[in-house]
Structure 1
Amino acid sequence: MTKIKKGIKNQSSLKVVDFFCGAGGVTCGFKNIGIEVLGGIDIDPQFEKTYEENNQAKFLNKDVSNLAPESLKDLLPIFTNQDDLVFVGCSPCQYYSNLKSDKTKSKKGRLLLDDFKEFVLYYKPGFVFIENVPGLETKKGSPLHKFKSALRREGYSFDQKILNAKYFGVPQNRRRFVLIASRLTKVQLPKQVRSKDNTVSVSDAIGDYKIFPAVKAGNEDKSKFIHSVSKLSPLNLERVQRTPKNGGSRKAWENDERLQLECYKNHDGHYDVYGRLHWNRPAPTLTTRFIYTSTGRYSHPEQDRALSLREGATLQSFPLNYNFYSPNKGAIATMIGNAVPPKLAEAIGNSLLQHWTEWQNLEQRQEQ
C-alpha cells in the first residue's frame, strides 16, 4: 500500500474535476447541492457553450487519451494528494451497453477508463466516482477490473452497485453501474428505496400542459425551452395514431399488412418500438434517439408524436432552465441521452459530502 501524504483538510466542500463531462449532467447535479466543480473535460467541442453557460465552470476541450496527467495541474487549480478533490470519470459507455447495436464507432472509447486511471494514479484525489452501463462490470475485456485493482494497490476503499436512477428522483427506469472510492475513509453508496412511492412518473415530470403545451410532430421551438419535436412521415404518423394512448404498443396494428414493419412480420417481441409512454410510470431508459418513435417507447402518452427535446431533458432530470446549444436537433438529443441524470449525481454527491464531513470531524477529534 502506498503511503499518502495528507493534503488540504477542514474545507467546507469538495472540489471536482468532471472528466468526459459532456453537457454537464454530473456537474449540474453536484452544483445543485453546493459542491464546487473546477471544470469539465471533453473531447467534443460542441459541449462547451452548454457546459459553461449552465454551470459557470471551465470547459477544457481535451482528449484525455492524449493529455499528459501532469499537465492538468497547469490547466486547473489542483495538486497531487489533495484530500478534498474528487475525480469523476463517467466515460462514454456504448461499447459495453447491452443494446444490440453496431459497436464499431464506440470501440475506440472502450478503454477510456484506463486513461482516466492514469490521472487517478498520478493525482491520488481524496475521492473518485464513476458511472457507466451495467455491462462495464460483466463484459469481456472491460478495463474495470484493472481499475479496481489499481485502486486497491493505492489504498482506496470503494463501494459499487447497480443503481436504478428511478429511485433517486429521476423519472426514468435507468440502471447504471456506479462506483465511489476514497483513500481517506470507507465509503458507501446511497441505498435504494425500492418502492413505487419513491418514484417520479412521466405524468409528474411532463404532464403539465401549461409547461409542456400540446404540439404536433415536426414542431420547431426556436426558444431556449426547445419544445421541438421530430417530423413523422404520413405512414409513421398513422402508426402512432393507431397505437393506444397511455402505454399502448405496436401490437395494436401488428396484423395490418400496410402498417406492420417487414422486420417484425415473423418476429414476436420488441414491443417498445413505436410504443407510447405510460403516464403513471417512470419512462424507459432514454437513449440518444429518444426523439424518434421508431427507436423505442418514446411516443408521447397522448399526443401523436415523439418526445420533444425539453421533455427528454426533463425525464433526464435536468432543470427546466438548463439550456442546450446546437442548431442540430440530433446533437442536442445526444447531449441529453448520454448525460448522467443530475438527480442521480445529486444522490452520489450527497454521499461523498457525508463521507467527507465525517472524515473531517474524525480528523479534528484526533488532533484535539
Structure 2
Amino acid sequence: MLNKRHTAIDLFSGCGGLSLGLRYAGFQVVAAVESDTLACDTYELNHPGTVLLRKDIRKIRPSYLLKQLNLKPGELTLLAGCPPCQGFSTLRTLNGSVNVEEPMNDLLFQFLKFVRAFVPKSILMENVPGLAVDARLEKFKREIRKLGYQSNVEVLNAADYGTPQRRRRMVLIATFGQQPRFGEIPKYRKTVAWALRRLERPENSNDVLHNYEIRRSEEVQKLIEKIPLNGGSRTDLPKKYQLECHKNCDGFKDIYGRMSWDKPSPTITGGCINPSKGRFLHPEQHRAITLREAALLQGFPKNYKFDMSRGRYLAAKMIGNAFPPRFAQLHATALLNAITSETGT
C-alpha cells in the first residue's frame, strides 16, 4: 500500500541520481519516467521499488499516472526532474544567443503538464545554467505562479552542496503558497581525496566499473606519465614533450590535466574517462579516472550499479548526465522541512 505522506515523482530520471538524492532526503519515490533504455536498465537495478515508465514523456497522460498511483491532485509531496537540455548548453550558445531552437527544450513544458495534473506541494527542477536566462523558463515560472506556486531560481555549484565536484547547474524550487529556500551549504567542501583516496587500484579490484582494459598509444601514455602529479597539466611540460596537435593550440588547456587531491574535481561529463576531453587524469596514477571514480565524484555510493552492456563510453555518458545525489538531497530536504513545518506532518 502506498504511503502518501512524503511522496515524490522523478521525471526524466536518467540513471537515478536525483531519485537517490530524494530517497536520502526522506522521500518515497513512487514513480519515475525515462525513455533511454540503458538509463532505465540502470535505474531498475538500483530502485526496484519505484514504478518506472519506460516511455517518451510526450506519450504519457498524467491522469493515467495519477490513477495508477492512486493519488489525487494535491497529494503528491514533490514533483522533480531534469528535462533534457541540449539546446541550453553553453557549448551550443557561443554566438551569444540564449534562445536556441532545440526541439528537446520544449520538454520543459511536458514537466508543466505534470505540475498542472498533480498539483504537487513542491517542485524541484535542475538544468544547465543557460536555462536561467531563457524565455521558456520565464514562461514556466509565470504558468506555475498562476497555479499558486512561489519559486526561486539560482545557478548553484554542486561543490557548495556536499558534492566533491565543481558543477554549475540551474536549480528551480517552488512550493505551493510559500516562498521556498535552497538547501543549507555545508561548512566544509568535499574533495577528490575524500571521494577516491580509499579506493583500491583498478588492477586490484573486482568491480567491472573500475577494472577494465584500456588501450592507449605509446605516445599518449608517455605524455600522461610526464604530467606533474596532483593538479599538473600538459601546459607544464616543455613543447618537445607535447603532442603535435597541442603545440600551436592555446585553447582547451585542461585536456590531459590531472585532478588535485585537495580540491573538488572538475565537472564530470560524458567524456570523463577520456583524458583528451578534459582534466580527467588521476591525481597520481598514470591513467584517466575510471567509471567507478567518476560515479563517486558525482556522489553515487560505491555499490551503485551501472549497466555496462553497451560499453563504457555510453556508461560514462549516463554517469556524466546524472544529477549528483547529495546536491539533490540538500535542496529536497529544505523543501520537505518547509512543507512539514507548514502542515505539521
Q: Shared topology, TM-score over 0.5? A: yes
Give the aligned partner of residue 4 of structure 1.
none
- Deviation track 1:288-347 (CA, whole Å, cap 9, x = no partner) reads 110101000001111111110100000000011111112211121112110000001110
Moved over 6 A (4+): none
Within a 5 Å distance, the mapping from 1:111-190 to structure 2 comes to 111-139=106-134, 142-190=135-183
Identity of aligned residues (%): 34
Give the aligned partner of residue 53 of structure 1.
45
Q: 1:135 to 1:79 in 2, by over 3 A?
A: same
Which of residues 194, 205, 214 in structure 1 aligns to 2:195? 205
Measure how far apart 1:204 and its partner are: 1.2
Measure how far apart 1:74 and its partner are: 3.7
Measure how far apart 1:253 and its partner are: 3.4
Q: Distance in 1 between matches of 2:313 and 2:279?
A: 18
Does structure 2 conserve the Cα–Cα contact (< 8 Å) formed by 1:163 and 1:192? no
Does structure 1 conserve the Cα–Cα contact (< 8 Å) formed by 2:132 and 2:154? no
User: Is 1:243 matched up with 2:227?
Assistant: yes
**Higher mean C-alpha deviation, range 225-234 or range 86-95:** 225-234
Does structure 2 conserve the Cα–Cα contact (< 8 Å) formed by 1:225 and 1:310? yes
**Higher mean C-alpha deviation, range 276-285 or range 223-232:** 223-232
Q: 1:239 to 1:224 in 2, by over 3 A?
A: closer
The one-letter code matched in structure 2 to 1:38 is V
Task: Please give the secondary structure, in 1, of the residue aligned with 2:109.
Answer: helix
Aligned residues: 335
Give the aligned partner of residue 109 of structure 1.
104
Does structure 1 conserve the Cα–Cα contact (< 8 Å) formed by 2:31 and 2:51? yes
Measure how far apart 1:59 and its partner are: 1.4
Q: 1:310 to 1:236 in 2, by over 3 A?
A: same
Give the aligned partner of residue 97 of structure 2.
none
Q: Distance in 2 between matches of 1:151 and 1:310?
A: 39
Within a 5 Å distance, the mapping from 1:280-291 to structure 2 comes to 280-291=262-273
Task: Please give the secondary structure, in 2, of the residue aligned with 1:38.
Answer: strand
Q: Distance in 2 between matches of 1:224 and 1:59?
A: 25
Q: 1:324 to 1:77 in 2, by over 3 A?
A: farther
Q: 1:113 to 1:199 in 2, by over 3 A?
A: same
Give the aligned partner of residue 335 of structure 1.
318
Measure how far apart 1:214 and its partner are: 5.0
The one-letter code matched in structure 1 to 2:194 is D
TM score, norm. by length of structure 2: 0.90
Measure how far apart 1:230 and its partner are: 4.0
Does structure 1 conserve the Cα–Cα contact (< 8 Å) formed by 2:10 and 2:79? yes
Q: Distance in 2 between matches of 1:108 and 1:238?
A: 44
Give the aligned partner of residue 5 of structure 1.
none
Q: 1:289 to 1:187 in 2, by over 3 A?
A: same
User: Is 1:65 matched up with 2:58?
Assistant: yes
Does structure 1 conserve the Cα–Cα contact (< 8 Å) formed by 2:158 and 2:168? yes
Measure how far apart 1:177 and its partner are: 0.7
Q: 1:229 to 1:128 in 2, by over 3 A?
A: farther
Q: Distance in 2 between matches of 1:206 and 1:352?
A: 31
Q: Distance in 2 between matches of 1:231 and 1:138?
A: 42
User: Which runs of 5 or more structure 2 residues have no equivalent in the other structure?
Assistant: 95-100
Q: Distance in 2 between matches of 1:330 and 1:312?
A: 12
Measure how far apart 1:222 and its partner are: 6.3
The one-letter code matched in structure 1 to 2:201 is P
Q: Distance in 1 between matches of 2:253 and 2:110?
A: 39
Measure how far apart 1:359 and its partner are: 1.2
Q: Distance in 1 between matches of 2:314 and 2:215?
A: 16
Measure how far apart 1:13 and its partner are: 4.2
Q: 1:149 to 1:292 in 2, by over 3 A?
A: same
Task: Please give the secondary structure, in 1, of the residue aligned with 2:10.
Answer: strand
